Amino acid sequence: MRRIVSFLVTFLVIAAAFVPTAAAAPAAQVGDCHFVLGFKTLHDLIPNVVGSCVADEQYAANGDGLQQTASGLLVWRKADNFTAFTDGYRTWVNGPFGLQERLNTQRFPWEKGARVASTRVVNFVPPSTVTQQVSGSCFVSSLAATRADAFRCIAGNLIYDPCFTIPGNTSAVICVRNPLDASSFVQMDLTKPLPAPEPVPAQQRPWFLQLADGTVCNFFTGATGGINGERLNYGCSDGWDVVGLPHQDRIWTVDEVLLPRFSLSPVLSSATVEVQTAWQ
């Protein structure tokens, strides 16, 4: 089905979607850790939801703040300075309209206006460690990733795309649904030699996107539909779809639409959204 997105959103992906308020406040100590600033503000608003901290705030490579609690994860995104808490299913965002609650798979309309300083383009390198191992074969170049080392493969009744060759190893490939989710990394031990790769276009197409609002989007490799003559190319974790390909500049953008379930019309909403990271 067109709208089924083939990936799972982990806490870290959800984390990239939200962020703390700037208001300072005294540190709140729970055991050997503390809540401070925006995390303390959000904790004090919903203490029974957030629960006690289990570690102090830490920072991701992109500058986002993360703090694990007994009930979930607090997140501060540097890009737009909002704070959120997720329990893995629901999210509470302390944003421009105060504290709001939604499902992790949803976004408030104002979140579509999130901004980034620039778009990071990642030339994906297959991971050295995996969480699953299967046996199968590859039968054509990847439909998702436009690379000479990427293939479309099958194990049992499951299609894996993209699957990347391993330098120095011709007997296996690494298949990745979501580069942000280590649980999606699968090593496929090959039962047949790889097919000859198809010619690679001059301009690579990203196979995975993370948008400024934190949602992640996979390239549709199967049959899909079109809007105003352009293909629906990506399905995103909040139920929106990307029409066409990203518009590439210092800051990439995509055109998103929200459609009824299992239907191409009417378009319920549309937005132009900035891209935080693109994987090629």
pLDDT per residue as tens digits for the range 95-144: 889 999 998 878 888 888 888 889 999 999 998 889 999 999 999 999 99
Q: Which of 201, 212, 29, 205 is nearest to 115 (CA)?
A: 212
pLDDT at 22: 37
Residue 2: the pLDDT is 39
Kindly state the helix (H) or strand (E) to which residue 40 belongs, with its residue range: helix 37-45
User: What is the predicted pLDDT for the residue at 128?
Assistant: 86
The secondary element (H helix, E strand) that includes residue 209 is: strand 208-211
Is the pLDDT score of 244 beyond 90?
yes
Position 3 pLDDT exceeds 50: no
Calculate mean pLDDT across residues 200-205.
87
Rounded to an integer, what distance in angstroms lies between the CA atom of residue 240 and that of residue 107?
A: 10
pTM of full prediction above 0.85 = no
Residue 206's pLDDT is 97
- Residue 10, pLDDT above cutoff 80: no
pLDDT range class, residue 220, cuts 50, 70, 90: very high
Chain segment 156-182, per-residue pLDDT in tens: 999 999 999 999 999 999 999 999 988
Residue 217: what pLDDT?
Answer: 96
- Computed over every residue of the chain, the mean pLDDT equals 86
pLDDT of residue 31: 58
Q: What's the mean pLDDT in 67-81?
A: 86
Does the pLDDT at position 30 exceed 70?
no
The predicted pLDDT at position 268 comes to 87
Answer whether residue 27 shows pLDDT above 60. no
| Least confident interval from 38-47, 98-107, 247-256 | 98-107
**CB 209 within 8 Å of CB 278:** yes
Q: Do 176 and 185 form a contact (C-beta atoms < 8 A)?
A: yes
Mean pLDDT of 13-25: 39
**Has residue 153 got a pLDDT over 90?**
yes
pLDDT tops 70 at residue 46: yes
Q: Virtual CA dihedral for 133, 145, 210, 173, nearest 10 degrees?
A: 20
Q: Tell me the β-bridge partners of 118.
A: none
pLDDT for 62 equals: 67
Q: Is residue 266 reached through a cis peptide bond, with omega within 30 degrees of 0 on the bond before it? A: yes
Query: What is the spatial distance between Cα 71 and Cα 87, in angstroms, rounded to a whole number?
Result: 6
